[in-house]
Amino acid sequence: MSGNIELLNTTLAAAKAADRAALIAYLPAGFPTVDGGIEAVKAVVAGGADVVEVGLPHSDPVLDGPVIQTADDIALRGGVRIADVMRTVREAYEATGVPILVMTYWNPIDRYGVERFTAELAEAGGAGCILPDLPVQESALWREHADKHGLATVFVVAPSSQDARLATITAAGSGFVYAASLMGVTGTRASVGAQAQDLVGRTRATADLPVCVGLGVSNAAQAAEVAGFADGVIVGSAFVKAMLDAPDEAAGLAAVRSLAGELAAGVRKR
């Protein structure tokens, strides 16, 4: 079975044709439970998310700040496994029909087996993977299997990335490029920063791939600001924090659906 890279491509293209940015939501699998995580994905899509990243919880998430680390810890203590991540992708995709990617560090894939992981992700209806710590020069094996199974390979670029490096990364990637708005870890911030707009411009100069910005966006105003220069707005910590702060799961689901609605309105005010 082929993965859903084409669904991802057409979804991003449709947002562009509508003269807006796409809203991309991030939620960890297994948080607060596997079933609860699946319901959370459904809730953000119901609120207006165009694409969802399902995080594969990791004990040493080098890109993620304390909010997502807390959620990952809850998921790992709950016994989440890669099979649960695949189940989350499958059930979320079947319920919503939107592109579902997995965001994961390289070590779990390496231990699980690249062929096994890509085959199972494609069979689950996944659209691809975001791989923040896989160096592009070491990605040939992954890309071979991802291409074979119809999966996008999304690399992360940062404000420190030089133009030559950006060109190398965008030439190897597919789906979109994940532009980290600033140097640091994930988390909500008072401002997204001018570095993000410069990075998007420099990245676009190297390829035709959509460029989506993450790290720091937490409200409609910030989403509108980023949507003014990016193809997609990625929000993670704000959704996770809404779940963590809720008194119970039902309240958490209502909170993330409401936040998705606010952010979806924001990307339409670019």
Give pLDDT tens digits for 219-232: 999 999 999 999 99
Active site residue 72: no
For the beta carbon of residue 239, count every other beta carbon within 10 angstroms: 31
Which of the four pLDDT bands, split at 50, 70 and 90, describes residue 185? very low
Q: What is the mean pLDDT of residues 9-32?
A: 97
pLDDT at 51: 98
Which of the four pLDDT bands, split at 50, 70 and 90, describes residue 128? very high
* Closest by Cα among 31, 34, 52, 32 to 42: 52
pLDDT at 270: 65
pLDDT at 193: 60
Q: Which of 39, 64, 84, 91 is catalytic?
A: 64
pLDDT at 58: 85
* Closest by Cα among 104, 69, 70 to 89: 104
pLDDT one-digit tens code per residue, 68-83 = 889 989 999 999 999 9
**What is the three-state SS of 35-68?**
HHHHHHHHHHHHHCCCEEEEECCCCCCCCCCHHH
In the predicted structure, residue 183 carries a pLDDT above the cut 50: no
pLDDT one-digit tens code per residue, 220-269 = 999 999 999 999 999 999 999 999 999 999 999 999 999 999 999 999 98
pLDDT at 188: 44
Q: Which of 53, 91, 120, 225 is catalytic?
A: 53
pLDDT at 230: 95
Instruction: Tell me the two tokens of residue 219.
Output: 């409200």
Q: What is the mean pLDDT of residues 103-111?
A: 95
Percent over 70 (pLDDT), the chain? 92
pLDDT at 62: 63
pLDDT at 64: 61
Active site residue 144: no
Which of the four pLDDT bands, split at 50, 70 and 90, describes residue 23? very high
